[in-house]
Structure 1
Amino acid sequence: MKTLVVVAHPDIESSVINKAWLTELRKYPELYTVHELYNTYPDWKINVEKEQQLIEAHEKIVLQFPVYWFSSPPLLKKWLDDVLTYGWAYGSGSGYKMKDRKVALAVTAGIREQDYSTSGRYKYALDDVLRPFEITINYVSAKYSAYYAFYGTESASDVAADKLNNNDITRSATGYRSFIAHMA
C-alpha cells in the first residue's frame, strides 16, 4: 500500500530540503501519494471528508513540515484539528479510523542539531518539541513511527553554518525515502 505524505510548507518553492525530499518521493509514484496542503487549500477551507478518505486509503502517513516557532506551520495544525474528528479518528461510534495506521514526522529544523539539546541554546531536544505530535498520534490509536529530521542554521550569517552542497541534499533525500520505507 502507498504511503501518504502530507506536506505543510507555506513556501515550498523557496525550500531547498523540503523540495528535494518531494522531488525524490515523486520519482516513485507507485509508492507515495504526495499531498501538499498549502497548494490544495490556499483558502484554508479544508475538505474534511476528502482528507479522511485519503487517509483511509493509506496504511502509512508522514506529516512533512518545517518546524515553525517550535511547532508546525498553522495550516497543518488546522488540518489536524479539522480532520481528526470525534467519531472518525477517536471516540464512540465508528471512530478509530486512524487505529494502527503508522504515522511518522519528517521535519526540517532551521536550527543546528546541537541547539536542540538540554545543554543547547534552546534547552530542549527536538524529541521534546515534537512530543505534542506523538501524543496526538497515540491519542487517535495510530502507531507513532518517530521522525526524520534535517537540521540547519538560523541564518546564513551564522559563523558555524556549513554550506549545503548537492551531496548533502541528495543524501538527505535518499535517507528520507529509506526512513519511510522502514517505518515500523
Structure 2
Amino acid sequence: MKVLVNVFHPNLNESKVNKKWVERLQRENVTINNLYEKYPNWEFDLECEQKLLLEHDRIVFQFPFYWYSTPPLLKKWQDDILTFGWAYGTGGDKLKGKEFVLAISVGGSQKSYQAGGYNNYTISELTRPLQQTANLTGMEFLSSFVLYKSVVASEQEIEKSAEDLVKHVLNPELNPAAGLKRILSEMAEKDVTL
C-alpha cells in the first residue's frame, strides 16, 4: 500500500505537533507532500499533484483545525486539483477506490467537541465536507486520526501521538473491508460458522 501524506500547515516549522508528525512519518515508507512549502505562491502544478494522487493507494490530509475547517490552501488545492472530468463528474473516476484519511490537530478538548460542549459539534460532524469530497470522488473515507488539546500537549504526548499517527496511517485494517476479510479468513480456517 502506497501512502501519500498531503501536509497543509502554513507554519510547519513553528508547529510542535504537525512538525513532529512529519518528522516521524519521514522515517516510514510514505510520500510527504508539504504543500505550503512546495507552493509559497499558491500556484499548483496540476499535473504533478494529480500524478501523486494516482500513484498512491491511501491519501492522507494532515492539517491543524482552523475555525472549524481546514487551512485555506487545502481548500484551494481541492478547487484546483480535484477537477471535473478527472476527480468527479463525467469520466471523473481517477480517485475511485482510493482510501482517504484525515490527520488533524485540534486545540480544544474532545469533550468540547460534542453536543452541549463549547464547540457543539464533533470533529466528524465538522469534517463532513471532506467526507463528502471522498464520496463524490469515489474514495473510501476511513476513520480520522485526531489529537485533541494539541496546543497544551506535552513533549511526551506529542511523541506518543506521532507514534500513534504512524500506526493509524499505515494500518491496513483501517479499511473495515480489510479487517472483515481477515476475520472471515480466520473463521474459514477454524471452520467456524455463525
- Scaled by the length of structure 2, the TM-score of the pair is 0.86
- From the two aligned structures, give the one with the greater helix fraction: 2
Q: Work out the number of aligned pairs and report it.
A: 173
Call closer, same or farther: CA 1:145–1:64 in 2, change over 3 Å.
Answer: same
Partner of 2:139: 142
Partner of 1:19: 19
Partner of 1:158: none
Partner of 2:43: 45
Partner of 2:182: none
Partner of 2:54: 56
List structure 1 segments (4+ residues) > 4 angstroms apart after TM superposition: none
Partner of 1:4: 4
Deviation at 1:146, TM superposition (A): 1.9
Deviation at 1:167, TM superposition (A): 2.1
Deviation at 1:166, TM superposition (A): 2.7
Partner of 1:35: 33
Is the aligned partner of 1:96 residue 2:93? Answer: yes
- Name stretches of at least 5 consecutive residues in structure 1 with no aligned partner: 155-162
- Scaled by the length of structure 1, the TM-score of the pair is 0.90
2:86 maps to amino acid: W
Is the aligned partner of 1:129 residue 2:126? Answer: yes
Q: Percent identity?
A: 38
Partner of 2:166: 177
Deviation at 1:153, TM superposition (A): 6.3
Cα distance in structure 1, aligned partners of 2:149 and 2:155: 15
- From the two aligned structures, give the one with the greater strand fraction: 1
Cα distance in structure 1, aligned partners of 2:49 and 2:98: 15
Cα distance in structure 2, aligned partners of 1:48 and 1:88: 11
- Name stretches of at least 5 consecutive residues in structure 2 with no aligned partner: 176-194
